[in-house]
Amino acid sequence: MVFILTIANIAGGLLLGLATLDKWDGERNFFNKIAGVLAPFQTVIGGALVVLSLIRIFGGHNWLFNAVSLLGGFLLLTHAIGKAPAFGDTLKKLSDKLMPFKAIIGIALLVIGLINLFN
């Protein structure tokens, strides 16, 4: 489960932090190519981040890393959140408030994923 969350953190970080990573990359478009491959799986990655981070938060593991994963998952699920009839409005407002921090959360997810990968 930890490995899947680690991979989801790295993939989600690449998708959310693409604007910043593209600036660092220059003209090679390395990160754009990776994001192009990952984009069709955005909902799956976001769902994995939300579900696995909630399991780990309630399991008593490192809550800070998992809270960032949870926020990243919400940002990746923005397009699907609006379709939820029960609490779609509340989750949509949360997602809209997090949107200005999209790149920061993405880079944090990438760093957390890489730390967990090499730890």
Q: What is the pLDDT of residues 67-89, one digit of tens each?
A: 999 999 988 988 777 676 766 67
Instruction: Count CB atoms within 10 A of the CB of residue 117.
Output: 12
d(CA 69, CA 74): 9
> Where does the pLDDT of residue 1 fall: very low under 50, low under 70, confident under 90, or very high at 90 and above?
confident
Q: How far apart are the first and last CA of the chain?
A: 15
d(CA 89, CA 28): 40
The whole-model pTM stands at: 0.86
